[in-house]
Amino acid sequence: MVCPALLIVQKEVLRELSIFFLTLYLALHSSVLYIVATYSALLLSYCMKSCLFALLVLIVSPAFAQKAAVPEARLLPLLDSAGVPGVSMAVISQKGVVWAKGLGVREAGKPQPVDAQTVFSAASLSKPVFAYLVLKLVDAGKLNLDKPLYQYVPYRALEHDARGRRITARMVLTHQSGLPNWRNGQLNFIADPGQRFSYSGEGFVYLQGVVMTVMGKNLEELAQQYVFQPLGMSRSSYQWQPAFEANHASPHNRFGEVTPLTRFTEPNAAYSLQTTAADYGRFLVALLNGQGLQPATAQALFTPQVATGRTLHDTTQASTVIGWGLGVGLAQKPHAQAFWHWGDNGDFRCFAYVSRTRGQGMVYFTNSRAGLSLLAALPARVLGQSVRPVADFLQYDAYQSPPVQVSRRVLKVGPEAAAGPFLKPTAAPQLAEVDVLDIAEHLTEYQHPAQANALLALGTAAYPNSAAMVRASAYGTLKQGNYPAATAALRRYLAMQPTDATAAHLLAQLTTPDQGNVTLRVPGFADARLVTLAGSFNAWQPLYTLFRKEGSQWRCTLPLAKGRYTYRLVVDGRWQPDPSNPNTEQDSNGNTNSVLVVE
């Protein structure tokens, strides 16, 4: 398609040429001096028009297209299709930030627009910034990439495993520490240090502690000294600042609802960075140019240190394109090299991609769980280039996919209209079983049990032989307080999975209640659908010990031996102490628990 502006210029040039030849013809009947004068003037006019034409060709050519901000009309439909309230982005080149802008709103239902200075949670885009800080300390002789971190600072969390003494800074930055992304209880290895790629936030937390101990400063002080101030990142911090209150984004869940904003008070190298698109763009320019690093260090930053799997969690087959450098992901293809990273703090999601071959890149931040559904689409429209290998590696659902579209519409039009077209009993389901379960779980989590159960009913019809779907339906109806429906669903599920002890325990409470020696009665909660008991006697399971409503109170009977127990009520998914029991205590996490003594 030819640009209209180019057609106009071409017509102007042709018009001038026509005038030139006409004048030349007429001038044959005039003096030679007139001919020369006219020819010179027209030639100058033609050259000026030709130069203008050439300039416009350069402006609209792909090599220069990124220097003009992409029109909002090309981007806003993407946000709407994904259900993303707002995005802030910046495009960079080797010379600096080319442009930065915001689209949409900071919070759904409010008019304040997103702009290039709106503060977002950077999530795991925190990691490359910390990696850059570490490399500057390496260049300064403060750290050695290959010296075991244990020799700087022993790590108490790994004292039980001698392999902890082998972890180095290089292993952490390249995700070869062998540690999980995050621990569940005790911190244990999932692989030997240096064995393979395994993405880990825990490794960054360990290295952060070493860096702070070696330097005698906290992470925020070091980041300001070595990164933020030198690069002019004035609206960036690893902990929440009062200055952010006037212009910050609010997080939104997959259904477009506002969720609580976490204001991080403790700096965390793996996820707590707060920043703007303009600031992070400045950081990407520094990385692209190796600014502040020794040439050999900058080269090592972009040199593949380890092969990854075909996808983030794949350990069976190596990727032929994706690798990992010293703190950033790499996309390496013949004649095309790029570095990248993504961030996912749940309801804040973001992505950065820089082509070293082209010398250009971008970063975008969103205030939505659906933000990474735009991972492939935004760079394609803004930079005019594909990031498909990265999108295939990270495996986020694209904005056009059934899970994203159902999530975006389910509260607006209801489960039948949103999911029904993808779950027709007469055709192969287009919404995967795992996605039905995931969406239903989130609907329940955000206090939409009726919609969750309606979606599960559609899912059960589409996947009639799925034990997981029947189980979810049973638990969903139970959470809604529909004991008869839950009883029937649990019986059906146990016929498919008879060894599930938790389901059997729940069914026993529904069919033969009052089995035990201790009875608790709790007044109030007249509008509650389900009240359960979680405590030290049932491993704090929130859906295990049931109350039954009797008039104006809830009653629960359970078997307990003599002893002292702590517990909390779970009222429609919300945890709280027993209001009828004045005997309470604080646990190590700051929670107030009720105390029960059985004599």
Residue 480, pLDDT > 70, answer yes
Return the pLDDT at 312: 97
Return the pLDDT at 13: 38
DSSP helix/strand/coil, 557: strand
Q: What is the mean pLDDT of residues 385-411?
A: 97
Give, for 354, the enclosing helix (H) or strand (E).
strand 349-355
Which residue is associated with the tokens 């030709």? Answer: 50
Q: What is the mean pLDDT of residues 196-218?
A: 98
201 compared with 63, residue with greater pLDDT: 201
What are the tens digits of pLDDT across the range 8-54?
334 333 444 444 444 444 343 444 333 333 334 433 344 343 433 33
402-511: CATH, from 1.10.357.10, 3.30.450.40, 1.10.10.10, 1.25.40.10: 1.25.40.10
Residue 329, pLDDT > 80, answer yes
Fold agreement between 72-236+247-394 and 518-598: no
Residue 262 DSSP one-character state:
P
What are the tens digits of pLDDT across the range 100-110?
999 999 999 99
Residue 236 tokens read as 């960036």
Return the pLDDT at 184: 87
CA angle 577, 538, 594 (to 5 degrees): 20
Q: What is the mean pLDDT of residues 255-269?
A: 97
Q: What is the mean pLDDT of residues 167-176?
A: 99
Residue 7, pLDDT > 70, answer no
Return the pLDDT at 178: 97
- Of the candidate ranges 66-80, 315-329, 372-386, 513-527, the one whose mean pLDDT is the lowest: 66-80
Quote the CA–CA distance of 134 and 223 in Å, as a whole number: 10
Q: What is the mean pLDDT of residues 563-582?
A: 95
What are the tens digits of pLDDT across the range 67-78?
567 788 889 999
Long-range contacts of range 179-188, CB-CB < 8 Å, 24 or more positions apart? 179/203, 179/206, 183/157, 186/160, 187/157, 187/158, 188/161
Give, for 380, the enclosing helix (H) or strand (E).
helix 377-382
Return the pLDDT at 67: 54
Return the pLDDT at 185: 84
Residue 335, pLDDT > 90, answer no
How many CA atoms does the CB half-sphere of 119 hold within 13 Å? 23
Work out the burial of residue 555: count CB atoms within 10 Å of its CB; fewer than 13 is exposed, 13-18 middle, 19 or more buried.
Answer: middle
Q: What is the mean pLDDT of residues 402-406?
A: 98
Return the pLDDT at 435: 98
Residue 43 DSSP one-character state:
H
DSSP helix/strand/coil, 555: strand
Q: Superfamily for 72-236+247-394?
A: DD-peptidase/beta-lactamase superfamily (3.40.710.10)
Residue ranges of the domains in the chain?
4-60, 72-236+247-394, 402-511, 518-598
Quote the CA–CA distance of 411 and 544 in Å, as a whole number: 29
Q: What is the mean pLDDT of residues 571-579?
A: 94
Q: What whole-number percentage of the chain has pLDDT above 70?
A: 89
Return the pLDDT at 158: 97
518-598: CATH, from 2.60.40.10, 3.40.35.10, 3.30.1330.60, 1.10.287.370: 2.60.40.10
DSSP helix/strand/coil, 535: strand
What are the tens digits of pLDDT across the range 77-126?
999 999 999 999 999 999 999 999 999 999 999 999 999 999 999 999 99
37 compared with 210, residue with greater pLDDT: 210
Closest by Cα among 62, 47, 67, 66 to 3: 62
The rounded mean pLDDT for the chain is 89
Return the pLDDT at 72: 86
Work out the burial of residue 282: count CB atoms within 10 Å of its CB; fewer than 13 is exposed, 13-18 middle, 19 or more buried.
Answer: buried
